[in-house]
Amino acid sequence: MIIRRSSYPSDLQEYNIVSKLPGLVCRGGSCIIDSYGHYLTKPVWDKETIIYAELDMNLPAACKMEHDAIGHYARPDVLELKVNEK
């Protein structure tokens, strides 16, 4: 997503702050990343476009079986991590 200073409405309450921003506020960098964190598309910079990618809809379930961040790993009564600093 590209954000330009002109993207903000001129009647914005804090437009005095916006008016001091550079013409290009955010260069973009949109991309598509799979459940394992691999890039399916490269980041798109400095242009507006629509990006597409084929998604493996079974991948999120497989990824959750490896690390379930909101499930049993988040339960201190089930999982405890101890570090021996010796």
The more confident residue out of 81 and 4 is: 4
DSSP string, 2-43: -EEGGGS-TT-TTHHHHTTS-SEEE-EEE--B-TTS-BSSPP
pLDDT at 73: 60
Report the C-alpha gap between 50 and 56 in whole angstroms: 19
As a whole number, mean pLDDT of residues 59-74 equals 69
Confidence of residue 28 (pLDDT cuts 50, 70, 90): very high
Flag whether pLDDT at 72 surpasses 80. Answer: no
